Structure 1
Amino acid sequence: MTSTVFAAPAPTARTASDFEAEVVVAALRAEADGVVGVDLALPGGAALPPWTPGAHIDVELPGGLTRQYSLCGEPADPSRWRLGVLREADGRGGSRWLADQLTVGTVLRVRGPRNNFPLHPAARYVLVAGGIGITPILPMIRAAEAAGADWVLHYGGRTRASMAFLDELAGYGDRVRIHPQDETGLLDLDAILGAPAADTLVYCCGPTGLLDAVSERCREWPAGSLHVERFTAVAVVPDGEETGFEVVCERSGLTVTVPPELSILEAVENAGVSVLSSCTEGICGTCETTVLDGEPDHRDCLLTDDEKAAGDTMLICVSRCRGARLVLDL
């Protein structure tokens, strides 16, 4: 097959979308052991906002929980958003509630979409998914296939029965390589990623161990080749003892002291400044804020190295200040 450069649509903005609405559960399906497929629609069948491969939405749950779920349906269909939800018995409760309590007709409040994981143009893609990390990869496959780009998917999971969307993926033939751990062992990342390839982008989503291993294998690849999305944050160890600092909220006309025990987000909210936020772990991008002056101490898992070096924005749920004062567009 002849490879072509994939002309991707403009990615959905990473900054918080203005769209927030109540949607209804239009359909539920068992996609695999412990994985539920959820279709969401607006009441009355109105069109949902457009999105691009890699996008996610925020779902508000009982008890004040907000969780992010990747959109894994068809971007060209504005009537429904599809999610894949893994029931995590040891999680914080959000996935258990969705898996156990949802019925067709349940009303949920959602916000988005937002894209922290956009598909960039390339002649070829190596896609690596672990477990429920297949969800953002599915629409990437459809987009790459439709554009005539060359691609291969390596999809790992504990067992074949636990791996969602296998029937859907079977239609792509040998471009899809299925690796159930109980049958074939762990993904052979040395074979998959051992030789850097020109004009190739690597996209990976899955558990932390897989992301770390893929990142290690891609150290010798050209800069910018690897794109990952994390479900959980990576702990960042401070350089020294935590100290307080001041944050000037330029639009609000307030100066807020951020003590060592509070995040910027907590401090400004305590002062009455309203900020959209969700994960509070530095992975979803909801609280991304423009920096007008000062040097951020970036502790998130979302911004690229170049974005952190530029210092134009920061995630105020986890990041702090390298100095005594920050001026933010709040």
Structure 2
Amino acid sequence: MKLLLDKKEPVADGVVLLTLRDPDDGPLPAWTPGAHVDLVVGDGVVRQYSLCGDPADNSVYRVAVLRELEGRGGSRHVHDVLTTGQLVEVSEPRNHFELVEAKRYLFIAGGIGITPILPMVRQAEAAGQDWQLAYGGRTRSSMAFLAELEHQAGVEIRPQDEHGPLDLQALLGDPSPGTAVYCCGPESLLLAVEEHCSAWPPGTLHLERFSPKTLLVEGSSDEFEVELAQSGTVLRVPADRSVLEVVEDCGVSVLSSCREGTCGTCETVVLGGTPDHRDSVLTAAEQECGDVMMICVSRSRSTRLLLDL
């Protein structure tokens, strides 16, 4: 869908907040905290950004975009080229970072990782739930949405130049049954949180990554077959190509975006066979179920996969 860029405003050093609405002022598709949308931000360049507004307000979407100096150009296009009044191609919201039911929530955000966490905090607060937020960043001026958060009970603001890194040992040193831990931020933070949560009950930790995690690939990268259940077509997937590339070459249209296993757009139902999961989206429990896979990166542990395509 094409949405109008209604407002573009700085909310921190190197961060702009985009407000997008329907050109005809129609309602936008519903979403829940943790959801993201794809934006086409250049000549076919697609990037994923977390929705950070109010899910109850279906008149606009809001996303905050950090200028990535070492990125591939998407954020630079947003900062330097996009202007108010332009139409932007935007996908419908998707959510692989849903807020689960829990007795208590511990939210940990690093830098721009506050964007998916912010609506979760608002929801937990509105519902009267027990929650805590630890929010870290390089400097106070680099941390978006501080005006809303810094005087709120339950929020710990930790600019690194003032306080050093987030004290994960204090936050996560003692497992707390019934607590759901949500974390988003740079990979270094996510890896550290994963390590500190290793002794917590399974299913406690929920992460959203901006980039693919480093995987120790245990499965083979040899060729295998995929059968497309809707047509009966059988395709060979060579060692140097992805399932997504092969089915696209066959003329099958599959929604995709990042092509690196982080966005979840190409999630495909598995009807038979055993996937070799190499994505950064599904939890360990979801991967163990084996009923869906991200066909942009994941492969097969069996000689053939039967996919709902």
**Which band: TM-score by shorter chain?**
over 0.9
CA distance in 2, matches of 1:198, 1:260: 43
How many Å apart are 1:221 and its aligned residue? 1.2
Paired residue for 2:184? 205
Q: Which amino acid aligns with 2:255?
A: L
The answer as to whether partners of 2:20 and 2:62 remain within 8 angstroms in 1 is yes
How many Å apart are 1:283 and its aligned residue? 1.2
The answer as to whether partners of 2:219 and 2:301 remain within 8 angstroms in 1 is no
CA shift digits 1:182-226 (9 cap, x unpaired): 111011100111111122111100000100100111111111111
Shift in CA distance, 194/163, structure 1 to aligned 2, threshold 3 Å: same
The answer as to whether partners of 1:26 and 1:40 remain within 8 angstroms in 2 is yes
Paired residue for 1:294? 273
Q: Does structure 1 residue 81 correspond to structure 2 residue 61?
A: yes
Matching of residues 47-86 of structure 1 within 5 Å:
47-86=27-66
Q: Does structure 1 residue 34 correspond to structure 2 residue 4?
A: no
Paired residue for 1:180? 159
CA distance in 1, matches of 2:141, 2:185: 17
How many Å apart are 1:236 and its aligned residue? 2.4
193-202 vs 126-135, greater mean Cα deviation: 193-202
CA distance in 1, matches of 2:154, 2:214: 35
How many Å apart are 1:27 and its aligned residue? 0.8
How many Å apart are 1:238 and its aligned residue? 3.0
Paired residue for 1:116? 96
Instruction: Give TM-score, length-normalised by structure 1.
Output: 0.91
Shift in CA distance, 280/124, structure 1 to aligned 2, threshold 3 Å: same
CA distance in 2, matches of 1:171, 1:142: 14
Matching of residues 170-319 of structure 1 within 5 Å:
170-172=150-152, 174-239=153-218, 242-319=221-298
CA distance in 1, matches of 2:26, 2:200: 44
The answer as to whether partners of 1:252 and 1:273 remain within 8 angstroms in 2 is no
229-238 vs 181-190, greater mean Cα deviation: 229-238
Give the secondary structure class of the aligned counterpart of 1:308: helix
Paired residue for 2:74? 94
Instruction: Give TM-score, length-normalised by structure 2.
Output: 0.97
Q: Which amino acid aligns with 1:165?
A: F
Q: Which amino acid aligns with 1:186?
A: P
- Return the structure number with greater relative CO, CA threshold 8 A, min gap 6: 1
Paired residue for 1:6? none
Shift in CA distance, 152/190, structure 1 to aligned 2, threshold 3 Å: same
Shift in CA distance, 240/220, structure 1 to aligned 2, threshold 3 Å: closer
CA shift digits 1:248-297 (9 cap, x unpaired): 11113321111111000001111111110011111111101011111111
Query: Aligned to 2:132, which of 145, 152, 175?
Result: 152
How many Å apart are 1:240 and its aligned residue? 6.0
Task: Number of aligned residue pairs: give it.
Answer: 309
247-256 vs 204-213, greater mean Cα deviation: 247-256
How many Å apart are 1:115 and its aligned residue? 0.6
Give the secondary structure class of the aligned counterpart of 1:151: strand
The answer as to whether partners of 1:57 and 1:68 remain within 8 angstroms in 2 is yes
How many Å apart are 1:54 and its aligned residue? 0.4
Give the secondary structure class of the aligned counterpart of 1:45: coil
CA distance in 2, matches of 1:118, 1:303: 12
What is the RMSD computed on CA atoms of the aligned residues? 1.1
